[in-house]
Structure 1
Amino acid sequence: MAKKFEELRSRMAPESRARAESRAQAMLAEMPLNELRQARGLSQKMLATVLHVQQPSIAKLEKRTDMYLSTLRSHIEAMGGELEVIARFPDGAIKIRNFSDLDNGAAAR
């Protein structure tokens, strides 16, 4: 007989629950564009309308592994978000405002 998830979870050690929660949050923090769009409650057609393109263009874009940052920025902004590019180094992280001007060397937070 199948057990309810909540019942199984209640039997887990607190450390295991914390570890599972941490992994779940990490998975939610990283996702492909198509999953991000779906999580935002948008269809490809809805996003295509906002971007003034055809739906197949959205499908093609979501499958790409390489694209211009301007294209990605438009896609993210159409979903109501903001794209940030952060360069991570051993001694800190820098948010890149554009590719010729760094944020005065301030570490991104």
Structure 2
Amino acid sequence: MARTLKDIVNEMPKERQEKIQTRTDELILEVTLQQLRKKLGISQTDLAEILKVTQASVSKQERQSDMQISTLCQIIRAMGGTLKVTASIPGKGEFELKQFEECGQ
């Protein structure tokens, strides 16, 4: 009988299982703007109306890999959220950058 992935993971040392679970949790939270919008049940048309732009503009923004923080903030706020900018420095920790604090309000 074939072994399942669950069987293989269960045979691993607990420490390795915990690392796998931690990374799985991280990946679940990583989404694109389009995925986030869809997960929230918001159409591009609805988002465009809130932002007072065209649906084509929303589509273009979702495909961008580089945008201003203020633009990203407006999109997140239009979806009902707040944006926090965090810097992760290996061995030093994570730091929320306060200069963007007003963006989320």
Q: Normalising to structure 1: TM-score of the pair?
A: 0.69
> Equivalent residue for 1:45?
45
The one-letter code sitting in structure 2 at the alignment partner of 1:12 is K
Find out whether 1:12 has 2:6 as its counterpart. yes
Listed as ranges, the gaps of 5+ residues in structure 2 are 12-16
Bigger share in strand: 1
Number of matched pairs? 91
Partner-residue secondary structure (3-state), 2:98: strand
Moved over 2 A (4+): 11-16, 18-28
Question: What TM-score, normalized to structure 2?
Answer: 0.72
Alpha-carbon RMSD across the aligned residues, in angstroms, is 2.6
Shift of 1:47: 0.4
Question: Is the helix fraction higher in 1 or 2?
Answer: 2
Identity of aligned residues (%): 34
Using a 3 Å threshold, how does the CA distance of structure 1 residues 21 and 46 change in structure 2: closer, same or farther? farther
Q: Which has the higher contact order (CA 8 A, sep 6+)?
A: 2
Q: Match of 1:5?
A: none
Unaligned runs of 5+ in 1: 1-7, 102-109
Partner of 2:77: 77
- Report the CA distance between 1:81 and its aligned residue: 1.1
Amino acid at match of 2:87: A
